[in-house]
Chain A
Amino acid sequence: MSFPWAKEYTPTTEFGQWMDKQLPLPRFVYNSVGAGYPAPRNLNYMWNFGSLAGLFLVVQIVTGIILAMHYAANSGIAFDSVEHIMRDVNSGWMIRYAHANGASFFFIAIYLHIGRGLFYGSYKAPREMLWLLGVVIYLLAMATAFMGYVLPWGQMSFWGAKVITGLFEAIPLVGKPIQELLLGGFAPDNAALNRFFSLHYLLPFVIVGVVIMHIWALHIPGSNNPTGVDVKGPQDTVPFHPYYTAKDGWTIGLALIFFTALMFFLPNALGHADNYIPANPLSTPAHIVPEWYFWPWYAILRAFTFDFLFIPAKLLGVLAMFSAILVWFFLPWLDKSPVRSGKFRPKFKIFFGILVIDVLILGYCGGAPAEEPFVMISQLAAAYYFAHFLIILPLLSSLEKPEPLPNSITESVTGKPLKTAS
């Protein structure tokens, strides 16, 4: 579906017409990311991170497939096979550093993409399904990244796997069997490494599938925009191609500059030194920390230090950590404000700013050792996190008086009212 003024695909060559009758793939592309897809004319640079997340997903899949040709998923030789890639495989060091840092860039893109959706109300009707699919992509990406970090079988791989699968142990009655099922044993070992490798190879293709549905769901109502006002006429839109292909194109170049600068000049800056030590079940690292993109959730997990009645603190932490992400599934129904864009919500704007700082604080505490004052700070920050989504947003929709909205996108951009065809 698209707007009635969308350009119609008209094949000019004989081959094009023949193809269009038999398999209208060019028509599909034309209507999806071509001139046949009108997009709001006022999208700002925050709308570029969806395509950038897609770019880094492709980087991960391509580099990952090549790495899998040389990697050995066996606890006895996994670590050495990674060093073999780094030393003896032609350009293996480049492929591995691209893959290791590509994961970070995927998460940078996806976090900014989620943040944009939160601020501009992209999760609100009629885009709830689009948002829900996005949360599913994020969860799948977390699982994929976690299992990928286990594969080099260094110290942080092993102990990270032990801590994260240990979370399931906190579930009453079924926790222990679930943990053993996940690991294929009582502790991370060859069985765990093998199944993590298998799933790490599978899940990215599941992500691609959900991404296709995500884009499909996007194309039904079309993109949201910084005003949050619906598209009302042809003047409000520009054809996706060449306008947004050109805009996405140059930011892809910009993102790759940052990415390659990091992977060629500081390739281990985002990693942990301990992961260059082979896994050793008999020696626990001083501080077990996950990769930086999990730090906010790790801080929430560790913020629960006291049992609540009969619920142990560990179980509370696990429930809270999963709830912190699962709450996003309910967001479209928690925030009932009819105004989408945070630009026109004076109070929401302030709370959103606090949330951004709050998550950064949680991230900092999650990467720090589990000592005071970091635990106390993460308790306050986690309290705000839950209060923001579960208390402030639901109440704000009835307490806040939004500012007047522009009549149309065109009016907000040019200052002149939209000419309606009728």
Chain B
Amino acid sequence: MVRIIGILIGLFFSGWLLVSFGMGAKEYITNPPAETAEHEFHREAKDISFTSDGPLGKFDRQQLQRGFQVFKEVCSACHSLRHVAFRNLEEIGYNEDEVKAIAANWAIQTPDIDPATGEMSSRPPLPADKFPKPFANNVAAGAANNNAIPPDLSLITKAREGGAPYVYSLLTGYMDPPANLPDANQPGPGLHYNPYFANLNLAMAPPLAADDMVSYSDETKATIEQMAEDVSAFLIWTAEPKLEARHQTGWAVLAFLLIATILAYLSYRTIWADVKAEKKKKTADA
């Protein structure tokens, strides 16, 4: 009885799936889906590597500081970094006094409550504060940016398919639209063509427009590519500040597990030796 009902249900599901397949295939052949411009012109992220890549990866602190400088002087005008605190900068090589100075001189104030009056007020950030947001809220952010809200950058290299290479590609990927780009995909007013962006046009104007927008203190030449690479490396750190601890712990754990597993395997072989010997005899006899 179970089998008869089962066969009937199976015939129904499988049969209807095959009918659906037939109807779908007919539609697919007679009316094939058009190739979209997003699909045709979109480019995969450029091939670029960072010192933090791979199981042995470590941050290049000099590079992170350069990247922080780019964030501070360029990105932070529009983008927040709300999961990172000024005190975290000590992890990329600034000392306590430098962090205090960076916080105190930050261009944006931290909102607070005046302890005397209880009124809303603001003050220069302290090392314990997270980076203050450039806009009071999303409405203000949208109003100032052609209705496109600049995303928070703390997690951006983990929150985008393609990670840091994608961020680097986007920053260096602005170009004139190709001649054969359909009209529907031409950048409208306030939009900029960038084939690394999913729908080809984005509201952010090229943020790194010219070489030497920042002047590095370590005498690295601030080309667009260099600045883009440095800020991408900095954003790997903001997204995954525990990356070095993770890699180091990983190797220690693997070394321990490897030894423990080898010992466990050897004791398994010893324990099973008598049972396996009987099995070997079989192969010898045959």
Q: Which residues of A contact B (CB under 8 A)?
A: 41, 80, 83, 86-87, 93-94, 97, 238, 242-243, 246-247, 249-250, 252-254, 256-257, 260-261, 263-265, 267-268, 273-274, 276-277, 286, 303-306, 308, 316, 320, 323, 327, 330, 333-334, 336, 371-373, 375-376, 379-380, 382-384, 386-387, 389-391, 394-395, 413-416
Contact = CB atoms under 8 A, between A and B. Distances in A.
Interface size class of B (residues with CB under 8 A): 35 or more
B198 to A, nearest CB: 7
Nearest 9 A/B pairs, CB to CB:
A390-B10, A264-B250, A253-B261, A276-B159, A250-B264, A379-B21, A383-B17, A394-B3, A415-B282
Nearest to B83: A83
B152 to A, nearest CB: 8
Contacts of B272: 243, 246-247
Given A246-B272, A372-B24, 5 more contacts: A264-B251, A264-B253, A268-B158, A306-B19, A390-B9
A316 B9 CA distance: 12
B24 A375 contact: yes
Contacts of B163: 273
Interface in B257-286: 257-258, 260-261, 264-265, 267-268, 271-272, 275, 278-279, 281-282, 285-286
Interface residues of B, dominant DSSP: helix
B134 interface: no
Contacts of B28: 372-373, 376
B11 interface: yes
B146 interface: no
B264 A246 contact: yes
Contact of A253 (B25, B33, B260): B260
A94 B11 contact: no
Contacts of B20: 303-306, 379
Given A93-B242, A256-B257, A372-B33, A274 B159 contact: yes
A330 B2 contact: yes
A125 to B, nearest CB: 14
A250 B263 CA distance: 8
B123 interface: no
Given A304-B16, A376-B21, A93 B246 contact: yes
B14 interface: yes
Contact of A94 (B9, B88, B249): B249
A397 to B, nearest CB: 9
Interface string B9-53: 111011111111101110010000100000000000000000000
